[in-house]
Copies of this chain bind each other. A is one copy, B any other.
Amino acid sequence: MNSEFDSSKILLDFGKGDGLIPTIIQDYYSNEVLMLAYMSKESFELTKKTKQTWFYSRSRNELWNKGATSGNFQEVKEIFSDCDNDTLLIKVKQNGVACHTGKVSCFFRRII
């Protein structure tokens, strides 16, 4: 645990209007960046409580527990907020793959 501050005092900034915070998911073991999704306060609390990732789908307007359909659950190892508390980084043990295409990571399209 980082000893520089009291993590319970971190006040997260859940978006300018939409109530969502972008959340980077990184593989705890390989450090590969797996995906980015959005959390509402409710999905963030569920994530902390269950130690599995829960997101808020902007297209379906609903909470989703990653892996509930596919079985590819993400077990939460560490959660960090950034310097201005408007982004989260969560390190996970990824069961199976992260991407709905079947790729390990959603970032498989190389531009440069």
Chain A residues proximal to chain B, CB less than 8 Å: 1-2, 4-5, 7, 10, 16, 22, 24, 26, 30-33, 35-36, 48, 58, 76, 78-85, 87-89, 99-101, 103, 106-112
Contact = CB atoms under 8 A, between A and B. Distances in A.
8 contacts: A31-B32, A33-B33, A36-B87, A48-B112, A79-B110, A79-B112, A82-B106, A84-B106
Given A7-B110, A83-B101, A87-B106, 10 more contacts: A5-B109, A7-B111, A33-B33, A35-B82, A48-B112, A78-B112, A80-B111, A84-B106, A87-B107, A88-B111
A109 B87 contact: no
Copies of this protein in the assembly total 2
Contacts of A88: 111
Contacts of A5: 109
A79 B81 CA distance: 24
